[in-house]
Amino acid sequence: MEELERLEQCSRLQKVPIARHASDDEPDLDMLKQKVEELRNKRNYLQKKIDDSRKYVRDVLNVTVEGHEKSTQPTATYAQLTAMKKQKLEELKKAYRFIGTSAAMTNKTTLRLCFDTCHKGAFVEPFYVELRVSQTDYSLVRHTLPHFVPLEALCDKLNASMDMPEFTHTVHAYLTCHMSRREECRLTQLKYKRHLVGNIVTTLACDYVEFTVSGKVHGCPLEVTLVYADLMTALPSSVNITSKEWDGEHDVIQTWKESLSTLRLSKAFEDILSNQTVN
């Protein structure tokens, strides 16, 4: 604290009997005293911070694990702290991904948008959009979105009337609903394979889904078709179920229609099959 020492020396000059005009010098000495006091308080504060930090490090390095003696191996403790830090960073990354959208300027004129998608609390896949930014509009540079997301039309709206938050929200809604439809088909195929005849068949957008429920479930097979007219929804707009033995008004068919219209695919299977005995 060289500055503090210099000011303290200056403050002691008031004790030297030098002829002066009090009205001219006293205000300067008062200011010096005040400055010295401020710097002294700052020095004490910083010293306390240093002491507290040292104590914290000692406490961490001497941490006691239940049922064991205090660790005397700094390397092992450092490894533990590193592992804890990595775990917290991973948790933070997962939490950040649940937010869904992030943006960054890759250079002075290019804006990169990242859309993270999740399903049932698990990260699925990232998608990217790069836009060139000018004083008047945005232009699409490149992207990794599926072909069925109307990105060019959305960019036109962005330049006409849509603001950036609405643009990112709309794109993320398309991607989230697509991931939901796709992952529900995948999970249902994986979990309820023995209740199905063959595989679940879908389009790339998963807006058209076909599958056959095994006859072992109800006594006769059910052929099911799901259509999603709106790609920004996770539930089908129409459900069609046919059977060679039952008409469309049969209780079993009506139960499936109601469940598939209101529940995610895997949840509909879970609710219906939990009340059935499969041979």
Give long-range contacts, CB 8 A cutoff, 24+ apart: 108-111: 109/133, 109/134, 110/141, 111/138
Q: What is the pLDDT of residue 225?
A: 98
Amino acid at 131: L
Q: What is the pLDDT of residue 221?
A: 94
Q: Residues for the chain: how many in total?
A: 279
Torsional class of 44: left (φ above 0), alpha (ψ -120 to 50), beta (otherwise): alpha
Query: Rounded distance, CA 206 to CA 186, Å?
Result: 11
Q: Which CATH class is domain 99-179?
A: alpha beta
Q: What is the pLDDT of residue 219?
A: 87
Domain boundaries, the chain: 2-57, 99-179, 182-273
Q: What is the pLDDT of residue 90?
A: 58
Residue spans of the chain under pLDDT 70: 1-33, 35-36, 46, 49-78, 81-83, 85-100, 276-279
Query: Rounded distance, CA 208 to CA 239, Å?
Result: 10
Closest alpha carbon to 264 in 169, 171, 191: 191
Closest alpha carbon to 133 in 104, 100, 161: 104
pTM of the complete model beyond 0.75: no
